[in-house]
Structure 1
Amino acid sequence: MSSCKNCGTALQGHFCHECGQDTQSPIRNVFSLVSDYFGETGNFDGRFWRTMIPLVIRPGFISSEYVQDKRAGYVPPLRLYLFISIFALLLVNIFVDQLNLTKQVNGGDVTVQSDSAAVRAELENAGVTAPGEINFGDWLDAEEQEAVEKRLQLYTEEPRLAVKKFFSIAPQLMFIMLPLFALTLKLLYVRSGRYFMEHLVLALHTHAFLLLMISLILLLSLLETWWLAIWGNGFWLLLPEYATLVIWIWMPVYLFLAQRAFYQQSWVKTTIKYLIAGNIWMFLMMGLVLAAIIRSVLVD
């Protein structure tokens, strides 16, 4: 007699009578991941915190549990990702205009100005293309390319607009990146014998984690603004900054540890594949960001 992979109880049907988990594994079927979301949508109950806490502090743990069919106690990956994605999107739309992008020293605003002509000359001498001189070849006509160059130059001169644009499209770009990153992992770990669905589960959890951290950074930026108004400059103002720094450090460390825990390969192999996957991810993300900017310019 077979036993439940989640709790070990002897099975007597299609569902475990002890924990309620379905005996049919969803790993081989991509459509089951989608139906997993639409079934019981919004029913997070106690599973929410049992999922969120290890999602943040135990890299790769939930993904490993899920692919081993120990999934009854956790929020399904797609449902978790969509919930965090919607939360991040709402947070961006409500609060991104209030982000504190101005640093203060001794109570005064610090404005950084640069000589654009001098910077342009240095870039040309170094053989680097300036932001406003990107050549799109035959992809865009002259008028469209000029419009895109002006938008990129605007983002260079107005960091607030660039930050707002990035945070506003981050949830959508992350969703597009999910299958691309899963495919990257499939190719890197082709000899592992894992199904594409298993790589997709890890991609869902890691991208949900990234969106959650981006949301926390937004909240900490707001907190810094409010604390500045209440406490002024001082020790208390440094707490949000230190917390933000910890998050920025934890994100790449988390992704590395998640990859190591999930695939159970040596530190050397994990490091090499992590660097390859990370560079591919950054390249694809930069391409998607540029494509989103071009689309927004052409549509507007």
Structure 2
Amino acid sequence: MSTIKDTCQNCEEQFDKGFRFCPYCGQKTNDELTIGVLFYNTISNYFSFDARFLKSFVPLMFKPGYLAKQFIKGKRLMYLHPAQMYLFISVVFFFLSSFTIAEWEKEANELNKKIASTPAVLNEDNQSKIDLDSIKKAKILEDIKKSGPKLGLKEADIKMADSIIQADTNNANVSWDFDKNKIDSLIKTGAEDAIIYKEMGMSDDAGYFERGVFKGMLNIAKGSGAGNMLRRAFDAVPITMFILLPLFALILKIFYFRRGRYAYHLVFTFYFFSFLFTLFAILLAVDRFLFEIPWWISFVLVLSTFFYFYLGLLKFYERHWFTTLIKSGFITFIFSILVVLTSGFLFFFGLMNA
């Protein structure tokens, strides 16, 4: 007796009639298009993500290495996938930090414009000097009055600092290694950058690095360099992390080469950086939308990330505490060097292609 067959509308495979779901692709067999069907997958995926994120949040923040350990053991549906968690948290973090960076960029550009527009005088070495008295006083005093109490300064200390700044900043200046008045004239007349570079002192056979330095100096002289450099430094962070995440996992593999394949170390890496971005995102959100966090609390929390990393290694790799302590120090040192080198390269590359 032949069995009646149905054909899946999605994968077009045949199966015995009576199945509610296709045994090949999982789609419902009588999936008529309704409003409920249209939004079912979106809603179910959203709430599934939401539930798994909430279930993952507490162990991520307070149980270092736990999520990575559970994922390696095979519990991969109970908690949020490490790569999915990292992508979600990093988007939230960079979104929140963009507000702060925008403010810094605006302040840097305003200060840069003041510096660029301030008349310069030549000193005995034919170098231009700009008096920053009016530029720096108000900013410095404002910061001291705002942050002084948090640093333990009393009203008398703040008044004394005010007097010292009023007396000493009259001598504050910024030196240019070129005749800024002449450069300003060339900029106003629309001279080509190559001519201005030569007037600034760039050598005829300047390499890639030297040209980048002079390009940055010219942008600052024009009044737009500081904010642009700050923005490009921030824009380089996501790319830097994209490059450094697999490198961090590779460092873990080198130090724990007998503790599983590379993918195991990558799982730990995703969860660890998810923790970092979650912590920093919380600090940014609280500081911006609720109340200003005292500097010492932020410092302690950031410092605690090194302790979290150590405990995570101890839990995940299950090695001796002293050996883990030594390895965590070396890993942190090596990775810090990679961060500086990669960030510097990407920032300089972006500056040259601005």
Shared fold per TM-score greater than 0.5: yes
Structure 1: 5+ residue stretches without partners = 1-39, 118-137, 228-236
**Structure 2 counterpart of 1:201:** 267
Q: TM-score, normalised by structure 1?
A: 0.63
Q: CA deviation at 1:218?
A: 2.4
Q: CA deviation at 1:240?
A: 4.2
Candidates 330, 341, 345, aligned match of 1:291: 345
Deviation readout 1:241-265 (Å, 9 max, x if unpaired): 3442332122111111111111111
- Asked whether the 8 Å contact 1:47–1:73 carries over to 2, the reply is yes
Candidates 48, 53, 57, aligned match of 1:48: 53
Judged with a 3 Å threshold, the aligned counterparts in structure 2 of structure 1 residues 86 and 191 are, in CA distance, closer, same or farther, namely same
**Structure 2 counterpart of 1:249:** 303
- Asked whether the 8 Å contact 2:53–2:79 carries over to 1, the reply is yes
Q: CA deviation at 1:45?
A: 3.0
1:147 matched to 2:215? yes
Deviation readout 1:119-167 (Å, 9 max, x if unpaired): xxxxxxxxxxxxxxxxxxx9725323433577899xxx96x87776554
- Asked whether the 8 Å contact 2:272–2:309 carries over to 1, the reply is yes
Deviation readout 1:15-63 (Å, 9 max, x if unpaired): xxxxxxxxxxxxxxxxxxxxxxxxx865413211111111111111100
- What aligned pairs does 1:158-169 form with structure 2 within 5 A after superposition? 166-169=233-236
- Asked whether the 8 Å contact 1:151–1:297 carries over to 2, the reply is no
**Structure 2 counterpart of 1:178:** 245
Judged with a 3 Å threshold, the aligned counterparts in structure 2 of structure 1 residues 268 and 169 are, in CA distance, closer, same or farther, namely same
Could you say what secondary structure the match of 2:49 adopts? coil
Candidates 316, 328, 331, aligned match of 1:277: 331
In 2, Cα distance between equivalents of 1:215 and 1:105:
27
Could you say what secondary structure the match of 1:45 adopts? helix
Judged with a 3 Å threshold, the aligned counterparts in structure 2 of structure 1 residues 279 and 41 are, in CA distance, closer, same or farther, namely farther
Q: Give the length in aligned residue pairs.
A: 226
Aligned partner letter, 1:202: F
Aligned partner letter, 2:349: R
In 1, Cα distance between equivalents of 2:317 and 2:218:
45
In 1, Cα distance between equivalents of 2:147 and 2:303:
29
In 2, Cα distance between equivalents of 1:152 and 1:213:
34
- Asked whether the 8 Å contact 1:48–1:75 carries over to 2, the reply is yes
Candidates 265, 270, 288, aligned match of 1:222: 288
In 2, Cα distance between equivalents of 1:279 and 1:212:
22
Structure 1 vs Structure 2 CA RMSD? 3.7
- Asked whether the 8 Å contact 2:96–2:281 carries over to 1, the reply is yes
Judged with a 3 Å threshold, the aligned counterparts in structure 2 of structure 1 residues 196 and 151 are, in CA distance, closer, same or farther, namely farther
Judged with a 3 Å threshold, the aligned counterparts in structure 2 of structure 1 residues 98 and 41 are, in CA distance, closer, same or farther, namely farther
In 2, Cα distance between equivalents of 1:251 and 1:45:
25
Q: CA deviation at 1:88?
A: 1.5
**Structure 2 counterpart of 1:19:** none
Q: Which has the larger radius of gyration?
A: 2
